Amino acid sequence: MFRRTFFALTAATALAAPAFAGGHSKDIVDTAVEAGAFGTLVAAVEAAGLVETLKGEGPFTVFAPTDEAFAALPEGTVEDLLKPENKDQLVSILTYHVVPGKVMSTDLSNNMMAATVEGSEVTIMTEGGVMVQDANVVTADVEASNGVIHVIDKVILPGS
């Protein structure tokens, strides 16, 4: 079923790793920084000028690639994307990882399409584990004060 509107749960159970323990009083950026596994993502968000946006009211759903996910990209890719002349491309990639609204794992359905902030849609599959495009969700429902983070094992690219 095609869904564009998502409803936040009033009482959700976080399935987060211990690095995320302690409630959700921090925004998405501070939650990612505190976790310690998203240094590359945080650096990219800073280079793209998206920090204030992701610290904003939201709510946002972020499919957050780990440092290992960025390291799996072809050599030199991250360094090139972080250059000022590639800011538009970096913004496009990062906003492809963000869906407006707070989408918890219990809101998902198989073969669901979700519109991203970038403007394209991502396909979410739930059979045999949750996937966004071809990335596996390795930790779901990490709540933040302005949304939710779902940790993924791969950087997803618009048009892929």
**Which residues, 6 or more positions from 49, have their beta carbon under 8 angstroms from its beta carbon?**
87, 91
Mean pLDDT of the 104-120 span: 95
92-121 average pLDDT score: 96
Predicted structure pTM score: 0.83
- The predicted structure's pLDDT at residue 18: 35
By the 8 A CB rule, do 61 and 151 touch? no
Integer Cα distance of 25 and 156 in angstroms: 28
pLDDT at 24: 60
Looking at the chain, the whole-number percentage of residues with pLDDT higher than 90 is 82
